[in-house]
Amino acid sequence: MKLEPQWVVGFVDGEGCFHVGIAAHREMTRGFQILLEFTVVQHKRDEQVLYALKDFFGCGVVRNNHGDRLAFRVRKFEHLKTIIVPFFVKHALKTKKNTDFKKFCRVLQLMEKGHHLTVVGIEEIRTIADQMNVKAMKVESLTLTEDDSGEDAGVYQVISE
């Protein structure tokens, strides 16, 4: 299945999510995990569309989500930075999801500059995450399984305050 850029934009306007997740680190008394994630979730009957997205972007993985749902997701910082973000900068989303995308980009820029390693930076990221439609992800979403080994773990830093 070959996808056209505008189909991808339309589909992501409907079904895509840009997540910024912040969670307390499980093994530290003080510290945070940050997760950047681009996902598209579908019922398993449309698995082929998720694999078509994976082929289209040339990155990411298709994994089980909840129940009979699957997710195409990209967590790897380099892929988000060099593939996903440039695509949606060039082909702008038309729904208000574009606002979330811009916030996602802002967090990515902050992390690239190392601001997530500072207390001030992490607070700014938290503020941005709180403003996004999809709030900070639940801690369990940050629990990485062996299944993720092929893809970037998506957790970039742990800071100790």
**Which residues are at the interface with its own copies (CB under 8 A)?**
1, 3-15, 42-43, 45-46, 49, 52, 94-96
| Residue of 70, 86, 89, 85 whose CA lies nearest to 15 | 70
CB-based burial of residue 133 (10 Å sphere; 0-12 exposed, 13-18 middle, 19+ buried)? exposed
Closest CB 91 distance from its own copies, rounded Å:
9
> Quick one: 65 or 95, whose CB is closer to its own copies?
95
Residue written as token pair 């598209």: 40
Instruction: Provide the b/e sequence for 77-108 (b: ≥16 CB within 10 Å).
Output: bebbbebbbebbeeeebeeebeebbbbbbebb
Closest CB 17 distance from its own copies, rounded Å:
12
> Quick one: 45 or 90, whose CB is closer to its own copies?
45
Contact 158, 121 (CB under 8 A): no
> Quick one: 17 or 20, whose CB is closer to its own copies?
17
Closest CB 49 distance from its own copies, rounded Å:
5
> Quick one: 10 or 31, whose CB is closer to its own copies?
10
| Residue of 104, 76, 127 whose CA lies nearest to 12 | 104
Element (H, E) at 151: none
Closest CB 133 distance from its own copies, rounded Å:
9
> Quick one: 17 or 74, whose CB is closer to its own copies?
17
Closest CB 65 distance from its own copies, rounded Å:
15
